[in-house]
Structure 1
């Protein structure tokens, strides 16, 4: 964990933030180091950074948080020790750009490895892994093997759907993709129809969606691909929730399955820029992409790396070709429509 020299490790995170914000960037610009601000859970990124350090000799210092890292970097300004921002959603990448904390990165390595739909046209951010927003369905009660996102508003699902908050970053991205495909009016009508089909007030997270399906409170719900795999493979107390459900890869009519990304930004004032670029390029290399697939249960960005067998068992993925940048451009509209229809009420 990255710390400013005068901060005591036992203090609250807020104090740590204040101390590191006050530290001059030069004091943290040490040879052989790179400073990463990340939204990823420590246990998920640790294998990546350990492998990177072993291969390159560059030490990775991390600060993890569940929110506010973009604003923190902006507040730190030119004194920010941040070299890289690693996010779990396209919305936070867009916010980083909007706040002016990213600098363009020109890299043939990245452009070759990352498909155009998963990177910023100006090089301000790149995806390092992908995840699909899929349907968890009751294994014993749902016979369907194919469902479109549009069908979620069909009255046949009335009282049968569980979902986390409509303003959650993952749902917001899906709803933004719906706006991009169908326009504001149709998206509003669809959200109203989806709300009418809910079995209960939106709450919890994706794991809780599976829990409630297993408990018979609903029959289907939305979740990210990797949560189901984690429950099934790594979380014994939640494995019964996975066993009671199955994963269906939904699609937009005439398109494909909605994809979101984990991505990186090169910080505007990166004190260790060379090391930062080395790390970012390493994250799309074969070794890192295999770690993303085998440990994090995510879809690799690099086409040559197959997904984990558990993820592959969901079925053949036809990814929606909609550029992630287009999804980001519609997130504000989606959030407004969620409130307009009273989705979370």
Structure 2
């Protein structure tokens, strides 16, 4: 994933392309919109709104995974296109997204992968069409741009979780079935296995500040989220619970992005904080460096809100499927959060 190229390309787009259909007054009156429920036998659409997929077998894996979950599959018209590092031109990728939401046969959308480039299509998305045809959209990493934009413009609950080419292990499949088929009000708690050691070391959480709080859960990939700052596609985090994750970023970059969330007022608005996994985010060389733990302490502890780190969120084989925009109850001491209300209509 080359997220830094994404930021450069999005910055250029922000300068050269006007934001379409943004009404600040309307955004302040945003109401939660529930997607329609899905079941086995339904048709899901597979789209590629970000980077291109180089290995053709990945398309087969994604299609077979959806079939194994019990779905019929419809592939985006431009799914296998390529334009530079992207899966087609901005217009082609936006067309697949808009077409799937407009197609009555398609009941849900899954993004085949992340990478970079999803933010380039945000001004081309037909948000009115999405609002008139609310469907589940699943993906993570660069797909954070879509999850945030769609929520900020329509209020639609989307889902931060496995991409089509991701790991569909038993943990992820079971959670998918609980969320989408059984419509369970899931409690998200890290899976732990003791192993041959005196103490459990895998998937441990760290409580930064204890407490229980309720609010809408919003967030996603930190790099992509911070790059949306100052645009109409950045959600209003007032009284929310913020969750973030990232991969392959030096701690000084994590510090810079957390500083952005502080400077744009996000951290002052939130009621709770969950940090997932930051894979490969270890200090590099040079004259001294912060650790990610130190960075979280610096920005989060002064807020005096319930907060914990280490949740199973991010670029990891087993990950939570989070309904972005849903009301949840978070317990920072236990390292859990639970869905409080039904997330499907």
**Per residue, is there more helix in 1 or in 2?**
1
TM-score, scaled relative to structure 1: 0.31
Which structure is richer in relative contact order (CA contacts within 8 A, separation 6 or more)? 1
Larger radius of gyration: 1
